[in-house]
Amino acid sequence: MRGIIRTAAITLVGALALAGIGPASNALFGKDVTIMVDGQTVDTVKIVSATVGAFLTREDITLSSRDAVSPSLSTPVTSGMVIDVQRARPVSLVVDGQGGVYWTYGTTVGRVIEALGLSETSIQVSLPSDTAVPLSGIGLIVDIGHDVSVTAGGQTQTVHAFGTVLDALAVVGFTPDADDIVTPAPGTILTDAMAITAIKVDVQTITRQVDVPFDINNTNDSSLAKGKVVIETPGVVGTDEQTVVQTLHDGQVFSEDITATVRLKDPVTQVQRTGTKVTAPAVATPDPGTAQAIAYQMIQDRGWGDDQYACLVSLWNHESGWRVNAANPDGAYGIPQALPGSKMGSAGADWQTNPATQITWGLGYITGRYGTPCGAWGHWQSTGWY
């Protein structure tokens, strides 16, 4: 920042001594001329004839290129003339963190602020307003207030603050330490509508007891009904003591690290048996000549009992309803729902229409894959297919 603010009658106290002007030095001149330096009358002298510039030189008043003189230096001196000299002063000025040299005619900090077009009620200044600004200059820091949004401790509010993010946090009573998370950084200069977030970070160490689940040792038991569980040794939950380092954000656990675990009580494994026995549903004796009658005879011929017949009836009731021509969009066909249906050709060329051919193939498939119809039925109950 560099420039000169020209204001009316800005004063420089003590300019008379610098100018070397005395009341007897111009006694022989005839015109009354008043000299003012920075708004202060330093002398009234008499002069016969001269320009303003020549007169000031004769009076040993040296001007810099930034000083202002009124009237101009080439103006002839007239009786009653007032010559106004304003001295320029450098101010090392920092406004909201931006610095530079600012030249001014202001002789006090207050007049410098006024020349900048600022109101002292809306800013913060590093020096009192009545502080004199010497010709050698002065350093001045000006903070312009900003409305900013501050979220701290989970609460958001709008505040008017000066300076940096740290200053805005001070307004809401939040003093961050090295562990806290502040965005933007604490030293960031404030701007209008800036959003500031401050998270209080704390670390604590705790101990806690946690359950240790028990294992299950299971044995399938074909003497028990399918799905029935008999517990021989009940399982017992164990206990561990953990040492935990927790990181808290605004008082809430954000993350944790288990640094040590001590076993207080071992878990006890549960020993149990689970039934796998499939109980065949009760079915009536099939009508002679039906597909079920053919299947019943084939079951007996294989040495299987009525329970296996009952399992087969339930299985194929779900698959096809015992319909010879039952067809599924995926290609399955017939009473046993062979996929594809042509597989049943291995049992006979009339596989598409003869229930005996289809049942013969179906019982062969069941025997090879599941051992018995009840084995197939048990699998179907678990999966919905066989």
Query: Would you list the DSSP string of 3-31?
Result: -EE--TT---TTHHHHHT--TTTTTT--E
Report the side by side order of strands in the sheet with 238-249.
201-212, 238-249, 252-265
Torsion-angle region of 119 (φ positive above 0: left; ψ -120 to 50: alpha; else: beta): beta
**Residues facing 301 on adjacent strands:** none
The topology under which CATH files domain 203-277 is Resuscitation-promoting factor rpfb fold (2.20.230)
Confidence of residue 282 (pLDDT cuts 50, 70, 90): low
CA–CA gap between residue 214 and residue 205 (Å, rounded): 28
CA–CA gap between residue 206 and residue 211 (Å, rounded): 17
Domain 146-199 listed as CATH 3.20.20.70: no
**Residues facing 333 on adjacent strands:** 327, 338
* Tens-digit pLDDT profile for residues 9-44: 222 222 322 333 333 333 344 688 999 998 899 888
Q: Domain boundaries in the chain?
A: 1-142, 146-199, 203-277, 291-383
> Does pTM surpass 0.75?
no
Q: Residue range 366-376: average pLDDT? A: 92
Confidence of residue 2 (pLDDT cuts 50, 70, 90): very low
Cα 220 to its chain centre, rounded Å, is: 52
Q: Cis omega (within 30 of 0) on the bond before 288? A: no
Higher-scoring residue by pLDDT: 220, 6 = 220
Confidence of residue 284 (pLDDT cuts 50, 70, 90): low
* Tens-digit pLDDT profile for residues 50-74: 899 999 998 889 899 999 999 999 9
Residue type, 324: V
CA–CA gap between residue 151 and residue 145 (Å, rounded): 18
| Residue 227 pLDDT exceeds 80 | no
* Tens-digit pLDDT profile for residues 288-339: 789 999 999 999 999 998 889 999 999 999 999 999 999 999 889 999 999 9
Q: Are 338 and 365 in contact (CB under 8 A)?
A: yes
Query: Would you list the DSSP string of 317-351?
Result: HHHTTT-TT-B-TTS-BTTTTBSSGGGGGGT-TTT
* Tens-digit pLDDT profile for residues 124-138: 888 999 999 999 999
pLDDT of residue 338: 93
Minimal CA–CA distance to 33: which of 8, 55, 14? 55
CA–CA gap between residue 59 and residue 44 (Å, rounded): 12
